[in-house]
Amino acid sequence: MRLRELADALADRPSWSSGDPEITGICSDSRLVTRSCLFVAVPGTARDGHAFIPQAIRAGAAAVVGEQPAGDLSVPYLRVSNARRALGHLAACWHGFPARKLILVGVTGTDGKTTTINMLYEILRSAGASVGLISTVSARIGGEELDTGFHVTTPEALEVQRYLARMAAAGLTHALIEVTSHGLAQERVAGCEFDVAVITNITHEHLDYHGSFEAYRAAKGRLFAELGSAPAKPFNPARVAILNRDDSSFEHLRGLTSVPALTYGSELPADVRAEAITFSPHGIRFNLLYGGRTWPVRSPLVGAFNVANILAALAGAMGGLAIDPQVAVAAVSKVEGVPGRMERIDLGQAFTAVVDFAHTPNALRRALAAARTLTNGKVIVVFGSAGLRDRAKRRMMAEVAVELADLSILTAEDPRTESLDAILDEMADGARTRGAQEGRAFIRIPDRGQALREAVQRAQPGDLVIACGKGHEQSMCFGEIEYPWDDRTAMRAALAERLHVPGPDMPRLPTGNA
């Protein structure tokens, strides 16, 4: 593909130095540059891609895209206002604009995204649609499932477009993307022309990156603000915003949306509404009101928060994608859960053991509330708070835990280059502000494996042990090293040790001594 053809895909016309070379690939990592590729110099938080332009040219780059003045380069240079956005549009062009061949749904929010998008996936499959998915857990293309990596949010723009291109080439009709605030702020979904956007909720999270709640909300809002701006697709799918009427984000997002909006909720009047809600250890039941009709909904998922997730998926399917309500409701009843989301671990113990991804104050509150519906005994929670991330939530999560759990065990969760002891000190301070006494209402055990062992050893018949914060993730970061870690494996190891039955070995972390 010629450079000029790629440049024509950019929304803002770049300033151009001479030349129109043949391009054989696009790259934003100078270490991966190959002969005749186009290198996009992306500014980063730790490193600026502009510093690696000479290295990219020496490696064979035929042209460069960047934001800064070029200087004297031996290859053509395209100067743009936003290199990250340019990267997304260039990748889309390189792959033949795959989003234009698909009905594209984006699901965003603080909590519940993965559960909601997986339910949407199953609803579409039940309706006979050929659908692909890109989530924080995996990418699914036809019968293939691909790991999207350690600690991944939305994949980078080059990967997103590559996945979409594979979906289009496989003849899929629909694609679902879990869209994070980082993914939106960092233009990872630039070049994706969404038809339906779904919000779960917006609560306290990622303020370390965005700086304020308003900036975080604005990042989420971009998915809705840009929903009607993409060119029409040949098959003219409907463009719809699916909004949570019960969430504080509703008025803000409705003001940003230029396309028709469909609301869902259970507390305020909404287009898609749940009434007569009941909870049990076996799941959720409610009546679905939509379009003047009522359908009984049964789901094996637990917890009040999953009512909203189910409604979001149903609203997206019925109101956004015109799926028959009867088909959608039937599909929801078969969705048993998502890996690492209120996932039960059972080795025959006399108490309940659960692993959940809850890593925000709101998600932890919802997970512990759900835990209470699963037991009449005590709730023991094991959790931490990540280093180099939003510090305010450390205290907030500890406050939530000591309020709702009988025993909170504070432990490691990706301390990165911060002091784990200092993180635990902040969490303990938060717990004490709620009147919790260390040694009774909460304890500290820095090694996560040992913390799970302690929780399991303390559990009595009928109690519930829940490990929060890691969910499906497969590693934990200490310093700059990712160590293999899976909470589900670790929980099984702790249970096997207590029960004296065969089980996996406890994964080892740098904090462990045994």
d(CA 431, CA 201): 26
Q: Which residue has the higher pLDDT, 37 or 148?
A: 37
Give which of 222, 186, 188 is closest to 202, Cα–Cα. Answer: 222
pLDDT value of residue 513: 61
Q: What confidence tens digit (pLDDT) does each residue in 422-469 have?
A: 999 999 999 999 999 999 999 999 999 999 999 999 999 999 999 999
- Phi, psi of 218, deg, nearest 5: -65, -35
pLDDT, mean of residues 103-125: 94
Range of the domain at 312: 95-332
Q: Is residue 227 part of a domain?
A: yes
- Asked whether residue 153 falls in the same domain as residue 275, the answer is yes
Structural domain count of the chain: 3
Residue 205 has pLDDT above 80, yes or no: no
Strand 103-108 and strand 475-478: the pairing is unpaired
d(CA 6, CA 29): 18
- Asked whether residue 216 falls in the same domain as residue 123, the answer is yes
pLDDT value of residue 155: 83
- Asked whether residue 362 falls in the same domain as residue 437, the answer is yes
Q: What confidence tens digit (pLDDT) does each residue in 341-399 have?
A: 899 999 999 999 999 999 999 899 989 999 999 999 999 999 999 999 889 899 999 99
pLDDT, mean of residues 405-434: 97
Q: Of 8-22, 279-293, 462-476, give the lowest mean pLDDT range.
A: 8-22
DSSP 233: P
- Asked whether residue 418 falls in the same domain as residue 475, the answer is yes
- DSSP lists the bridge partners of residue 288 as 274, 295
- Asked whether residue 115 falls in the same domain as residue 37, the answer is no
Q: Is residue 337 part of a domain?
A: no
pLDDT value of residue 231: 84
- Asked whether residue 315 falls in the same domain as residue 359, the answer is no
pLDDT value of residue 371: 95
Residue type, 10: L
- Asked whether residue 400 falls in the same domain as residue 301, the answer is no
Q: Is residue 430 part of a domain?
A: yes
What is this structure's pTM?
0.85
Q: Kindly provide the residue ranges of all beta strands, DSSP E only, lying in 63-118, ordered along the sequence.
A: 63-66, 77-79, 103-108
What angle (nearest 5°) sits at the alpha carbon of residue 459, between those of residues 454 and 460?
150
Q: Is residue 304 part of a domain?
A: yes
Name residues whose C-beta falls within 8 Å of residue 433's C-beta, 6 or more positions apart in sequence. 395, 399
Q: What is the CA radius of gyration of the chain?
A: 24
- Asked whether residue 429 falls in the same domain as residue 322, the answer is no
Structural contact between residues 107 and 178, judged by C-beta atoms closer than 8 angstroms:
yes
- Asked whether residue 293 falls in the same domain as residue 405, the answer is no
pLDDT value of residue 262: 97
Domain-terminating residue out of 332, 358, 387: 332
Q: Is residue 513 part of a domain?
A: no
CATH assignment at residue 397: 3.90.190.20
d(CA 277, CA 325): 18
Element (H, E) at 270: none
- Asked whether residue 272 falls in the same domain as residue 324, the answer is yes
pLDDT value of residue 148: 66
Residue 152 has pLDDT above 60, yes or no: no
Domain-terminating residue out of 309, 332, 355: 332
Structural contact between residues 495 and 462, judged by C-beta atoms closer than 8 angstroms:
no
Residue whose structure tokens are 């540059």: 33
pLDDT value of residue 368: 97
Q: What confidence tens digit (pLDDT) does each residue in 477-505 have?
A: 999 999 999 999 999 999 999 999 999 99
Alpha carbon 89 to its chain's center: 22
Q: Is residue 487 part of a domain?
A: yes
DSSP 318: I
- Asked whether residue 250 falls in the same domain as residue 113, the answer is yes
Give which of 455, 463, 466, 472 is closest to 344, Cα–Cα. Answer: 466
- Asked whether residue 157 falls in the same domain as residue 69, the answer is no
Structural contact between residues 297 and 285, judged by C-beta atoms closer than 8 angstroms:
yes
What average pLDDT is seen over the chain?
Answer: 92
Domain-terminating residue out of 49, 82, 115: 82
pLDDT value of residue 514: 44
% pLDDT > 90, the chain: 78
d(CA 360, CA 111): 8
CATH assignment at residue 56: 3.40.1390.10
Structural contact between residues 144 and 170, judged by C-beta atoms closer than 8 angstroms:
no
Q: Is residue 504 part of a domain?
A: no
- The pLDDT confidence band at residue 128, using thresholds 50, 70 and 90, is very high
Structural contact between residues 167 and 124, judged by C-beta atoms closer than 8 angstroms:
no
Q: Is residue 507 part of a domain?
A: no
CATH assignment at residue 109: 3.40.1190.10
